Structure 1
Amino acid sequence: MHSHPNSAPSLPTAGLVVHKTYTIRRSTMLLGLGWLALMTACSGTAGWYILSKDDLAARMIARETTRQYAYEDRIAALRADIDRYASKALLDQDGVESRVDELATRQAELESRQSLVSALADMLQTNGIAPATKLPLRPRVAKPEEPIRASGVTSFAPLIPGKPMPAPEQQPLPIRPGSADATGSTGWQSGEAPQPPAKRVEATLTRLDEALSRTSDAQLAALREMDGKLLDTQAKLKSALAETGLNIDKMAAPATVEGGTGGPFVPVKLEASAGAFGAALNDIQPRLATLMRLKGIVQLMPVARPMNGDHDFTSNYGYRTDPFTRGLAMHTGVDFRAETGAQIVATGPGKVVAAEYNGGYGNMVEIEHANGLSTRYAHMSAISVSVGQIVKTGAVLGRVGSTGRSTGPHLHYETRINEEPVDPTRFLKAGAKLVGIFG
């Protein structure tokens, strides 16, 4: 507070309080208010910034935490995938090894069956029942030089000698995009993924499985073809032997085989899983045994012609007019027209029991065959065998002549059963039907 200029100065009075008055300008007050407002605004802005920054930091922390959790979940999922893939690889490995073992078993079974088919085919061919045929060959299975890999897992299973294993396929070299290989194909192209090892192994095993199946089918077809040939040959044999009028079931077949063979009898046994092959083999064995018996009987019977070439009959078996007495008489054989000196051959294998001059027969040879059969060759001009000699079918016995009770050169031929004469033409007709049956 300012004093008036014209007033006299007052003296201080004891005990009195003096108050001073100050005057503030309006501009100063406005400036102060403005400064106060600015500071308030700055403080509010700073507080808002600080609060906003803390919220942003909290959100960033929350986001990083969420991302970390996501990464941890992803890592856990990847570990689970790795475990699953490893388990799948092990299962694939076990599956491949199991399938290889199965193929090995099938391969061994096919080899055993092949030996049976080959033995049957050789038997039929050796006996002239069936011509030589091309038998199915077993599939050639290469042994791998490296372990089989399935889904990246190596199998170190030991290789069994003779065990079929899929041949490893070489990985083809990549061809640059657009370039052609030797076959003209562009081969690998950009963007094409190479075939996984598991698929290559699966493809190899599938091809081997198909090869084994084809071989099995071929073996079964060969077996059925042989069975059909046996049935056909057996029917022809029975038809031919029926011409003789003999009871074939009561006739004995040869019990020995030339060349010396033997050993213990071990029957063929097949597993229950043999299926159609086992059924076909079970059907073919009794038919083969029957056919071999019939063949053995045929080989012992005098069914061949007594002279080489085609010679006419001049007189049949049965009642006829006797050429000397002109009366009715029984002719116990058949006469073949032939020139003097023509060869006379044995119509079946046997033993010479007579080789001499025998009354009306003239020079005669008699051969004793199996099952009570015997044959006589008469009116010979010369005899070429002796008593006790063993002869085979086609062996020369002597020469055509006209000795004994004969009107001219010819061969008198007889067939006897237990010393009783029967019509030789029955056996000759059977022999005609048998021509070509055994090759």
Structure 2
Amino acid sequence: MSHSASSAPVLPVSGLVTQKTYTIRRSTVLLGLAWLGLTTAGCGLSGWYVLSKDDLAARLIARETTRQYAYEDRIAALRADVDRLASRALLDQDGVEARVDELATRQAELESRQSLVTALADTLQAGGIVPASKAAPLRPRLIKPEEPIRASGITSFAPIMPTKPTPAPETPGLRGAGDTQVAPWRSGMAEPQPPAQRVETALTRLDRALASTAGAQLAALRDMDETLQASQKRLRNALSETGLDTDRLAAQSSVAKGVGGPFVPLKIDTAAGPFEATLSALQPRIASVMRLRSLAEQLPLAKPMAGEADFSSNFGYRVDPFTRSPAMHTGIDFRAETGSPIRATAPGKVITAEYSGGYGNMVEIEHANGITTRYAHMSAILASVGQNVTTGTVIGRVGSTGRSTGPHLHYETRIDDEPVDPTRFLRAGGRLAGLR
């Protein structure tokens, strides 16, 4: 489509200015209109931006302010949690230290009890009440934890960092293994326990160890009590064979020699617990058994000759070997070879060591509680007057001196110079020997 300008009238050339004609294309007009529209839009946007700039900034500032307040509230909450956890940790630490102090007190108490139990066991062993093979279980070992905990050592609940393990790569798959997946390597170190749990575990272990030791000590005391009861009963039964008032004689028996020191009474509160109650009950029983044993050691309960007794004549009425008439035999006779050793049947002091009429060569020993023993018809006297002898001391040799029909030992037991049957003492000695 062709565009041409409209024809204008032609003026005369003479005396007039010539006018120049311009032609504007439609595309140029459209381009100008587009530019005008863009410029107008830009101006509008600029105006809108200028008008809305303050409101946008206000919204941005408000949003940042809200976010800041939220962060500050979160930080305050975290600080409160930290303070609460710190306070709880301090309370837990105070509780642990109080528990450790309580366990330390129990430990010291157990150590004190241990010394008492060991001393009692040694006393029973030294007194011959229990043999050494049976005295060891009466001394329970004081159990101590492998890792003792002290209150002063617990200063923080920070975990103990283990040694850093070396990272191991995953095991590569082998050729031909198909789809089988090989598990990756793992460190052999177990996950560490939390600090509070480690402390609680250690304290629990220590508490159980102390409880076990306390139980063992109480069991040892009860075993001692049972042993003492059995010993007291056996001693009374055995000594009853003598026909003596053992309670009266035991109360008068002398104490062991080579001991002493200032008297410091041991105060025991029987209401403190079963250990103290059992220990208090043991005291009179130990004293009674020790007195009975001391009495048994002072009485002539041993045999005057070694080996099996070969009695040739008993105590009491018999037919006199010389006159063939009834007579009173004041002792017992042991048949033996001439020269066989004769031994003292109890500790004492020699008051006679000479030839004495029908007794022949005789030794008389004075023992405690008004008891004396006589050994007659000796071929040789091996003791002297005033000599202190012990049980088993050889005081002479078997013979046939004095009023005797052959080699033998005439043995007498007297109480306040009155003859009593020696077999009563020998039976008691035999029963006690069978109990050892």
TM-score interval for Structure 1 and Structure 2 normalised by the shorter chain: 0.7 to 0.9
Matched with 1:257 is 256
Matched letter for residue 263 of structure 1: G
Q: Does 1:425 align with 2:423?
A: yes
CA contact (8 A) 1:92 1:151 kept: no
Matched with 1:240 is 238
Matched with 1:95 is 95
Matches within 5 A, 1:4-403: 63-132=63-132, 133-134=136-137, 135-140=139-144, 147-152=153-158, 172-176=162-166, 186-188=187-189, 192=191, 194-251=192-249, 252-258=251-257, 260-270=258-268, 274-403=272-401
Deviations 1:22-57 (A, max 9, x none): xxxxxxxxxxxxxxxxxxx99999999999887776
Matched letter for residue 388 of structure 2: I
Cα deviation for residue 143 of structure 1 reads: 6.7
TM-score (norm 1): 0.77
270 and 100 in structure 1: CA distance in 2 versus 1, 3 angstrom threshold:
farther
Cα deviation for residue 77 of structure 1 reads: 1.4
Give secondary structure in 2 for the equivalent of 1:393.
Answer: coil
CA RMSD of aligned residues (A): 3.2
Matched letter for residue 84 of structure 1: R
Q: Which moved more, 1:143-152 or 1:49-58?
A: 49-58
CA contact (8 A) 2:363 2:376 kept: yes
For structure 1, which runs of at least 5 residues remain unmatched after alignment? 1-40, 154-169
Cα deviation for residue 416 of structure 1 reads: 0.9
TM-score (norm 2): 0.78
Separation (CA, whole Å) in 2 of partners of 1:274 and 1:434: 38
**Same amino acid, percent of matched pairs:** 65
Separation (CA, whole Å) in 2 of partners of 1:150 and 1:201: 11
Separation (CA, whole Å) in 2 of partners of 1:69 and 1:280: 71
Cα deviation for residue 351 of structure 1 reads: 1.1
Deviations 1:178-229 (A, max 9, x none): 79xxxx995336xx5x322232222222222222222212212222222221
Separation (CA, whole Å) in 2 of partners of 1:123 and 1:434: 19
Matched letter for residue 219 of structure 2: A
415 and 185 in structure 1: CA distance in 2 versus 1, 3 angstrom threshold:
farther
126 and 79 in structure 1: CA distance in 2 versus 1, 3 angstrom threshold:
same
CA contact (8 A) 2:351 2:364 kept: yes
For structure 2, which runs of at least 5 residues remain unmatched after alignment? 1-40, 170-184
CA contact (8 A) 2:149 2:203 kept: no
CA contact (8 A) 1:375 1:414 kept: yes
CA contact (8 A) 2:100 2:149 kept: no
Separation (CA, whole Å) in 2 of partners of 1:201 and 1:114: 27
Give secondary structure in 1 for the equivalent of 2:291.
Answer: helix
Matched letter for residue 157 of structure 2: S
273 and 91 in structure 1: CA distance in 2 versus 1, 3 angstrom threshold:
farther
Separation (CA, whole Å) in 2 of partners of 1:236 and 1:175: 68
Cα deviation for residue 296 of structure 1 reads: 0.7
Q: Which moved more, 1:62-71 or 1:144-153?
A: 144-153
Deviations 1:377-412 (A, max 9, x none): 111111111112111111111111111111111111
Matched letter for residue 399 of structure 2: G
Cα deviation for residue 335 of structure 1 reads: 0.8
CA contact (8 A) 1:150 1:198 kept: no
367 and 415 in structure 1: CA distance in 2 versus 1, 3 angstrom threshold:
same
185 and 330 in structure 1: CA distance in 2 versus 1, 3 angstrom threshold:
farther
Separation (CA, whole Å) in 1 of partners of 2:345 and 2:50: 132
Q: How many residues align?
A: 377
384 and 185 in structure 1: CA distance in 2 versus 1, 3 angstrom threshold:
farther
Give secondary structure in 1 for the equivalent of 2:363.
Answer: strand
Give secondary structure in 2 for the equivalent of 1:399.
Answer: strand
Matched letter for residue 77 of structure 2: A
Cα deviation for residue 147 of structure 1 reads: 3.2
Cα deviation for residue 151 of structure 1 reads: 2.2
Q: Which moved more, 1:315-324 or 1:339-348?
A: 315-324
